Amino acid sequence: MGGMMILYKASESRYDTMKYNRSGRSGLLLPAISLGLWHNFGGINSVESGRSMLTRAFDLGITHFDLANNYGPPPGSAEEMFGEILKKDLLPYRDEIVVSTKAGYYMYPGPYGEWGSRKYLVASLDQSLKRMGLDYVDIYYHHRPDPNTPLEETMSALDAIVRQGKALYVGISSYSPEDTRKASRILRELGTPCLIHQPSYSMFNRWIEDGLQDALDEEGIGSIVFSPLHGGILTDRYLNGVAADSRAAGPSVFLSENDITEERIAKVRRLNEIAAGRGQKMSQLALNWVLRGGRVTSALIGASKVSQIEDAVDSLRFPELTESEIAAIEAILKG
Protein backbone atom coordinates (compact mmCIF):
# COMPACT_ATOMS: atom_id res chain seq x y z
CA MET A 1 0.00 0.00 0.00
CA GLY A 2 2.98 2.31 0.45
CA GLY A 3 2.17 5.60 2.15
CA MET A 4 -1.27 5.77 0.62
CA MET A 5 -3.98 7.34 2.77
CA ILE A 6 -6.91 4.99 3.10
CA LEU A 7 -10.00 7.08 3.57
CA TYR A 8 -12.43 5.38 5.88
CA LYS A 9 -15.99 5.26 4.70
CA ALA A 10 -18.54 4.06 7.22
CA SER A 11 -20.67 1.04 6.38
CA GLU A 12 -24.06 1.90 4.91
CA SER A 13 -25.66 -0.79 7.06
CA ARG A 14 -24.24 0.45 10.37
CA TYR A 15 -27.66 1.12 11.89
CA ASP A 16 -29.41 -1.99 10.62
CA THR A 17 -28.94 -4.38 13.51
CA MET A 18 -27.66 -2.53 16.60
CA LYS A 19 -30.19 -2.08 19.39
CA TYR A 20 -30.40 1.41 20.93
CA ASN A 21 -31.77 2.04 24.42
CA ARG A 22 -32.93 5.29 25.94
CA SER A 23 -30.73 6.52 28.79
CA GLY A 24 -33.10 6.99 31.71
CA ARG A 25 -35.71 9.65 30.97
CA SER A 26 -33.44 11.62 28.63
CA GLY A 27 -33.58 12.12 24.88
CA LEU A 28 -30.33 10.22 24.37
CA LEU A 29 -30.24 6.69 22.97
CA LEU A 30 -27.13 4.59 23.52
CA PRO A 31 -26.10 1.40 21.74
CA ALA A 32 -26.71 -1.73 23.85
CA ILE A 33 -22.97 -2.41 23.45
CA SER A 34 -20.53 0.48 23.89
CA LEU A 35 -16.75 0.42 23.47
CA GLY A 36 -14.49 1.45 26.33
CA LEU A 37 -10.94 2.62 25.65
CA TRP A 38 -9.55 1.59 29.01
CA HIS A 39 -6.26 -0.23 28.80
CA ASN A 40 -6.01 -1.34 25.20
CA PHE A 41 -5.84 2.05 23.54
CA GLY A 42 -3.03 4.51 24.01
CA GLY A 43 0.72 4.21 24.39
CA ILE A 44 0.68 0.44 24.76
CA ASN A 45 -1.08 -0.16 21.46
CA SER A 46 -0.50 0.82 17.85
CA VAL A 47 -2.70 3.43 16.22
CA GLU A 48 -3.41 0.93 13.43
CA SER A 49 -4.81 -1.58 15.87
CA GLY A 50 -6.86 1.11 17.60
CA ARG A 51 -8.10 2.36 14.26
CA SER A 52 -9.24 -1.08 13.10
CA MET A 53 -11.18 -1.60 16.35
CA LEU A 54 -12.83 1.84 16.39
CA THR A 55 -13.86 1.83 12.74
CA ARG A 56 -15.18 -1.75 12.92
CA ALA A 57 -17.13 -0.87 16.06
CA PHE A 58 -18.71 2.12 14.31
CA ASP A 59 -19.53 0.00 11.25
CA LEU A 60 -21.42 -2.35 13.60
CA GLY A 61 -23.52 0.47 15.06
CA ILE A 62 -21.46 1.14 18.20
CA THR A 63 -21.87 4.91 18.37
CA HIS A 64 -20.60 5.36 21.93
CA PHE A 65 -16.90 5.50 22.83
CA ASP A 66 -16.03 5.78 26.50
CA LEU A 67 -12.78 7.36 27.70
CA ALA A 68 -11.30 8.98 30.80
CA ASN A 69 -8.46 11.39 31.40
CA ASN A 70 -6.24 8.66 32.87
CA TYR A 71 -6.87 5.91 30.30
CA GLY A 72 -3.83 4.56 28.53
CA PRO A 73 -1.36 3.64 29.77
CA PRO A 74 0.30 6.12 30.05
CA PRO A 75 -2.51 8.41 31.28
CA GLY A 76 -3.83 10.68 28.54
CA SER A 77 -2.66 8.44 25.72
CA ALA A 78 -6.05 6.83 25.04
CA GLU A 79 -7.57 10.26 24.44
CA GLU A 80 -4.62 11.20 22.23
CA MET A 81 -4.98 8.06 20.13
CA PHE A 82 -8.74 8.51 19.93
CA GLY A 83 -8.20 12.12 18.82
CA GLU A 84 -5.83 11.01 16.09
CA ILE A 85 -8.24 8.36 14.74
CA LEU A 86 -11.16 10.76 15.02
CA LYS A 87 -9.32 13.35 12.96
CA LYS A 88 -8.24 10.87 10.26
CA ASP A 89 -11.34 8.68 10.01
CA LEU A 90 -14.34 9.55 12.11
CA LEU A 91 -14.57 13.35 11.98
CA PRO A 92 -17.16 13.35 9.15
CA TYR A 93 -19.32 11.26 11.53
CA ARG A 94 -18.78 13.33 14.69
CA ASP A 95 -22.49 14.07 15.03
CA GLU A 96 -23.33 10.35 14.91
CA ILE A 97 -20.94 9.60 17.75
CA VAL A 98 -21.25 9.90 21.55
CA VAL A 99 -17.88 10.56 23.19
CA SER A 100 -17.58 10.43 26.97
CA THR A 101 -14.69 11.21 29.27
CA LYS A 102 -14.20 11.46 33.02
CA ALA A 103 -12.16 12.97 35.84
CA GLY A 104 -11.84 11.79 39.43
CA TYR A 105 -8.84 9.49 39.69
CA TYR A 106 -5.22 10.62 39.95
CA MET A 107 -4.11 12.43 36.80
CA TYR A 108 -1.31 14.87 37.62
CA PRO A 109 0.76 15.81 40.67
CA GLY A 110 -0.21 18.32 43.32
CA PRO A 111 -3.41 18.88 45.26
CA TYR A 112 -5.53 19.67 42.15
CA GLY A 113 -4.85 16.55 40.11
CA GLU A 114 -7.51 14.16 41.40
CA TRP A 115 -10.84 13.80 43.27
CA GLY A 116 -13.78 16.19 42.87
CA SER A 117 -12.94 19.89 43.16
CA ARG A 118 -14.28 22.32 40.60
CA LYS A 119 -10.67 23.26 39.83
CA TYR A 120 -9.75 19.68 38.91
CA LEU A 121 -12.92 18.86 36.94
CA VAL A 122 -12.72 21.99 34.78
CA ALA A 123 -8.96 21.83 34.14
CA SER A 124 -9.01 18.11 33.40
CA LEU A 125 -11.79 18.45 30.84
CA ASP A 126 -9.91 21.26 29.09
CA GLN A 127 -6.90 18.94 28.82
CA SER A 128 -9.09 16.07 27.58
CA LEU A 129 -10.68 18.23 24.88
CA LYS A 130 -7.22 19.31 23.67
CA ARG A 131 -5.97 15.73 23.53
CA MET A 132 -9.00 14.60 21.52
CA GLY A 133 -9.18 17.71 19.34
CA LEU A 134 -12.83 18.27 20.30
CA ASP A 135 -14.82 21.37 21.24
CA TYR A 136 -17.08 19.39 23.54
CA VAL A 137 -17.73 15.86 24.78
CA ASP A 138 -21.18 14.34 24.77
CA ILE A 139 -20.97 13.00 28.32
CA TYR A 140 -18.67 14.14 31.14
CA TYR A 141 -18.49 12.04 34.29
CA HIS A 142 -17.30 12.47 37.80
CA HIS A 143 -15.31 9.22 37.86
CA ARG A 144 -15.55 8.35 41.56
CA PRO A 145 -17.12 9.84 44.68
CA ASP A 146 -14.95 12.28 46.66
CA PRO A 147 -15.64 11.97 50.40
CA ASN A 148 -14.01 15.33 51.17
CA THR A 149 -15.51 17.71 48.61
CA PRO A 150 -19.12 18.85 49.06
CA LEU A 151 -21.33 17.13 46.49
CA GLU A 152 -22.74 20.61 45.71
CA GLU A 153 -19.32 21.77 44.49
CA THR A 154 -18.72 18.76 42.26
CA MET A 155 -22.23 18.81 40.79
CA SER A 156 -22.27 22.58 40.23
CA ALA A 157 -18.95 22.19 38.37
CA LEU A 158 -20.62 19.61 36.08
CA ASP A 159 -23.58 21.95 35.57
CA ALA A 160 -21.25 24.87 34.73
CA ILE A 161 -19.34 22.72 32.22
CA VAL A 162 -22.60 22.00 30.37
CA ARG A 163 -23.53 25.69 30.41
CA GLN A 164 -20.10 26.54 28.98
CA GLY A 165 -20.78 24.18 26.07
CA LYS A 166 -17.93 21.80 26.95
CA ALA A 167 -20.27 18.83 27.56
CA LEU A 168 -23.82 18.05 26.48
CA TYR A 169 -24.67 15.73 29.38
CA VAL A 170 -23.17 14.73 32.71
CA GLY A 171 -22.91 11.49 34.63
CA ILE A 172 -21.41 9.91 37.71
CA SER A 173 -19.53 6.65 38.22
CA SER A 174 -19.34 4.22 41.15
CA TYR A 175 -21.53 6.35 43.45
CA SER A 176 -23.53 4.59 46.19
CA PRO A 177 -27.34 4.56 45.95
CA GLU A 178 -27.60 7.30 48.59
CA ASP A 179 -25.01 9.58 46.97
CA THR A 180 -26.58 8.92 43.57
CA ARG A 181 -29.93 10.22 44.84
CA LYS A 182 -28.26 13.27 46.39
CA ALA A 183 -26.23 14.05 43.27
CA SER A 184 -29.30 13.60 41.10
CA ARG A 185 -31.35 15.96 43.26
CA ILE A 186 -28.66 18.68 43.18
CA LEU A 187 -28.24 18.40 39.41
CA ARG A 188 -31.98 18.47 38.80
CA GLU A 189 -32.30 21.66 40.86
CA LEU A 190 -29.44 23.21 38.89
CA GLY A 191 -31.26 22.37 35.64
CA THR A 192 -28.73 19.84 34.30
CA PRO A 193 -30.21 16.42 35.09
CA CYS A 194 -27.90 13.45 35.66
CA LEU A 195 -27.96 11.43 32.44
CA ILE A 196 -26.20 8.24 33.41
CA HIS A 197 -24.39 6.24 36.08
CA GLN A 198 -21.44 4.01 35.25
CA PRO A 199 -21.03 1.19 37.79
CA SER A 200 -19.24 -2.14 37.58
CA TYR A 201 -21.61 -5.08 37.12
CA SER A 202 -21.31 -8.73 36.17
CA MET A 203 -22.54 -12.16 37.18
CA PHE A 204 -19.78 -12.18 39.82
CA ASN A 205 -20.24 -8.56 40.93
CA ARG A 206 -23.85 -7.71 41.67
CA TRP A 207 -23.65 -4.74 44.06
CA ILE A 208 -25.89 -2.56 41.89
CA GLU A 209 -28.85 -4.89 42.52
CA ASP A 210 -28.73 -3.84 46.16
CA GLY A 211 -30.44 -0.45 45.93
CA LEU A 212 -28.61 1.30 43.10
CA GLN A 213 -30.79 0.05 40.26
CA ASP A 214 -33.91 1.10 42.18
CA ALA A 215 -32.42 4.56 42.76
CA LEU A 216 -31.63 4.90 39.05
CA ASP A 217 -35.15 3.83 38.04
CA GLU A 218 -36.73 6.31 40.44
CA GLU A 219 -34.45 9.17 39.40
CA GLY A 220 -34.79 8.41 35.68
CA ILE A 221 -31.04 7.87 35.23
CA GLY A 222 -29.60 5.43 32.68
CA SER A 223 -26.77 3.00 33.41
CA ILE A 224 -23.77 1.78 31.48
CA VAL A 225 -21.98 -1.10 33.17
CA PHE A 226 -18.25 -1.71 33.03
CA SER A 227 -16.46 -5.05 33.42
CA PRO A 228 -19.54 -7.09 32.39
CA LEU A 229 -17.18 -10.01 31.65
CA HIS A 230 -15.52 -9.60 35.05
CA GLY A 231 -12.07 -8.94 33.64
CA GLY A 232 -12.36 -11.84 31.21
CA ILE A 233 -13.34 -14.60 33.65
CA LEU A 234 -16.80 -14.77 32.07
CA THR A 235 -15.39 -15.87 28.71
CA ASP A 236 -14.13 -19.22 27.48
CA ARG A 237 -10.54 -18.11 28.21
CA TYR A 238 -10.10 -19.79 31.59
CA LEU A 239 -12.28 -22.87 31.14
CA ASN A 240 -9.17 -25.06 31.21
CA GLY A 241 -7.31 -23.11 33.89
CA VAL A 242 -5.09 -20.06 33.48
CA ALA A 243 -3.30 -19.86 30.12
CA ALA A 244 0.25 -18.52 30.18
CA ASP A 245 -0.56 -15.61 27.86
CA SER A 246 -3.75 -14.54 29.62
CA ARG A 247 -4.38 -11.37 31.59
CA ALA A 248 -4.46 -13.26 34.86
CA ALA A 249 -1.07 -14.93 34.46
CA GLY A 250 0.83 -11.70 33.89
CA PRO A 251 0.87 -8.53 35.97
CA SER A 252 -2.64 -7.19 35.56
CA VAL A 253 -4.84 -4.36 36.71
CA PHE A 254 -7.91 -6.46 36.07
CA LEU A 255 -7.36 -9.78 37.68
CA SER A 256 -5.08 -11.66 39.92
CA GLU A 257 -4.85 -15.43 40.05
CA ASN A 258 -6.91 -15.13 43.25
CA ASP A 259 -9.88 -13.94 41.22
CA ILE A 260 -9.74 -17.16 39.29
CA THR A 261 -10.52 -19.73 41.92
CA GLU A 262 -11.32 -23.33 41.07
CA GLU A 263 -14.80 -22.68 42.42
CA ARG A 264 -15.32 -19.76 40.04
CA ILE A 265 -14.00 -21.66 37.03
CA ALA A 266 -16.34 -24.53 37.92
CA LYS A 267 -19.26 -22.07 37.85
CA VAL A 268 -18.11 -20.63 34.52
CA ARG A 269 -17.98 -24.16 33.06
CA ARG A 270 -21.59 -24.72 34.10
CA LEU A 271 -22.65 -21.32 32.80
CA ASN A 272 -20.86 -22.13 29.57
CA GLU A 273 -23.15 -25.16 29.16
CA ILE A 274 -26.16 -22.82 29.26
CA ALA A 275 -24.43 -20.62 26.67
CA ALA A 276 -23.72 -23.64 24.46
CA GLY A 277 -27.39 -24.65 24.75
CA ARG A 278 -28.25 -21.21 23.34
CA GLY A 279 -25.67 -21.65 20.57
CA GLN A 280 -23.52 -18.81 21.86
CA LYS A 281 -20.22 -18.11 23.57
CA MET A 282 -19.84 -17.66 27.31
CA SER A 283 -18.99 -13.97 26.86
CA GLN A 284 -22.21 -13.46 24.89
CA LEU A 285 -24.29 -15.06 27.63
CA ALA A 286 -22.65 -12.75 30.18
CA LEU A 287 -23.62 -9.71 28.08
CA ASN A 288 -27.20 -10.95 27.55
CA TRP A 289 -27.40 -11.44 31.33
CA VAL A 290 -26.37 -7.89 32.34
CA LEU A 291 -28.78 -6.46 29.74
CA ARG A 292 -31.66 -8.74 30.82
CA GLY A 293 -34.95 -7.12 31.73
CA GLY A 294 -33.98 -3.74 30.29
CA ARG A 295 -32.59 -2.29 33.52
CA VAL A 296 -29.13 -1.60 32.04
CA THR A 297 -28.91 0.88 29.16
CA SER A 298 -25.57 -0.28 27.73
CA ALA A 299 -22.86 -2.84 28.42
CA LEU A 300 -19.39 -1.35 28.14
CA ILE A 301 -16.85 -3.75 26.70
CA GLY A 302 -13.10 -3.48 26.40
CA ALA A 303 -11.35 -5.12 23.46
CA SER A 304 -7.86 -5.96 22.32
CA LYS A 305 -8.96 -7.28 18.94
CA VAL A 306 -11.70 -6.74 16.40
CA SER A 307 -13.17 -10.23 16.82
CA GLN A 308 -14.05 -9.47 20.46
CA ILE A 309 -16.10 -6.47 19.34
CA GLU A 310 -17.82 -8.58 16.68
CA ASP A 311 -18.67 -11.29 19.24
CA ALA A 312 -20.09 -8.72 21.65
CA VAL A 313 -22.34 -7.11 19.04
CA ASP A 314 -23.33 -10.56 17.81
CA SER A 315 -24.66 -11.34 21.32
CA LEU A 316 -27.59 -9.02 20.57
CA ARG A 317 -28.91 -11.41 17.90
CA PHE A 318 -29.76 -14.03 20.49
CA PRO A 319 -33.20 -14.19 22.08
CA GLU A 320 -33.66 -12.58 25.51
CA LEU A 321 -32.97 -14.93 28.39
CA THR A 322 -36.06 -16.86 29.43
CA GLU A 323 -37.21 -17.01 33.05
CA SER A 324 -36.03 -20.60 33.31
CA GLU A 325 -32.58 -19.73 31.92
CA ILE A 326 -32.30 -16.86 34.39
CA ALA A 327 -33.29 -19.22 37.21
CA ALA A 328 -30.72 -21.80 36.09
CA ILE A 329 -28.00 -19.13 36.00
CA GLU A 330 -29.06 -17.93 39.45
CA ALA A 331 -28.77 -21.45 40.86
CA ILE A 332 -25.22 -21.74 39.50
CA LEU A 333 -24.16 -18.34 40.81
CA LYS A 334 -25.62 -19.00 44.28
CA GLY A 335 -24.37 -22.59 44.38
Give the pLDDT confidence score for residue 255 in this predicted structure.
66
Q: What are the DSSP calls for 253-267, one per residue?
A: SS--GGGS-HHHHHH
Give the H/E segment covering residue 198.
strand 194-198
Segments making up each domain of the chain, as ranges: 20-234+293-319
What confidence tens digit (pLDDT) does each residue in 168-183 have?
Answer: 999 999 999 999 999 9
Q: Using an 8 Å Cβ cutoff, are 300 and 66 in contact?
A: yes
Q: Using an 8 Å Cβ cutoff, are 298 and 64 in contact?
A: yes
Give the pLDDT confidence score for residue 251 in this predicted structure.
47
Give the pLDDT confidence score for residue 44 in this predicted structure.
77
As a whole number of angstroms, the distance between CA 224 and CA 247 comes to 23
* Architecture of the structural domain at 20-234+293-319: Alpha-Beta Barrel (3.20)
Which residue from 82, 39, 79 is spatially nearest to 58, judged by alpha carbons?
A: 82
- Per-residue pLDDT 10s for the chain (335 aa) are 455 667 899 999 999 999 999 999 999 999 999 999 998 888 878 899 999 999 999 999 999 999 999 999 999 999 999 999 999 999 999 999 999 999 999 999 999 999 999 999 999 999 999 999 999 999 999 999 999 999 999 999 999 999 999 999 999 999 999 999 999 999 999 999 999 999 999 999 999 999 999 999 999 999 999 999 999 999 999 888 766 555 555 545 556 666 788 899 999 999 999 999 999 999 999 999 999 999 999 999 999 999 999 999 999 999 999 999 999 999 999 98
Q: What is the pTM of this model?
A: 0.94
Give the pLDDT confidence score for residue 1 in this predicted structure.
47
Give the pLDDT confidence score for residue 2 in this predicted structure.
53
190-228 b/e (C-beta count within 10 Å ≥ 16 → b): bebbbbbbbbbbbbbeeebeeebbebbeebebbbbbbbb
Question: What's at 317, amino acid-wise?
Answer: R
